Amino acid sequence: MIKDKLKNSQTYYGISENLKKGFEWLKNNDLKALPDGKYKIEGENIFANVQSYDTKDTAPYEAHKRYIDIQYMISGTEKVGVTDYTNCTTTEKYNEEKDVEFLENNQSDFYQILEEGDFLIFFPQDAHQPSLDADKKLNVKKVIVKVQI
């Protein structure tokens, strides 16, 4: 897991060309003006899901096998649980079509606060619990860039 500000994203370009393309898409679009939906950046290799929703009291952990997530907060604030995949047990088997497995964390929780302008990168070993209330329920707008490994 990596947490940083979008203005520092060039630091991570060397990880993969697809990750670089995902960051460049984030920088080159008026994200606040984009309606919710799926945006293809490079076919199914790189795409973005823009979402608006209310944060929640609780949510399951999830993990992905085919894609790295860049979760970028356009507006609002949310709390995100983070743990190593090996600390979890499966609650819903891996769905290959949706590239998601739902999990329960068996260790103590570790949280990150995702604020406007922040991003979190989740790799396959990073189980994460997004969309949680930070201090109170808020409406947030976030984009998740899916970057094929």
What is the pTM assigned to this prediction?
A: 0.95
Please compute the mean of the pLDDT values over residues 80-106 and round it to a whole number: 96
Query: Does the pLDDT of residue 65 top 90, yes or no?
Result: yes
Residue 137, Cβ density class (10 Å: 0-12 exposed, 13-18 middle, ≥19 buried): exposed
Beta strand 2-5 with 118-122: parallel, antiparallel or unpaired? antiparallel
Please give the domain boundaries of the chain with CATH numbers for all domains: 2-148 (2.60.120.370)
- Pairwise CA distance, residues 88 & 25, whole Å: 32
pLDDT per residue over 121-131, tens digit each?
999 999 999 99
> Cα–Cα distances in Å, from 17 out to 29, 64, 96, 120, 148?
19, 19, 24, 18, 10
Q: pLDDT grade, residue 148 (50/70/90)? A: very high
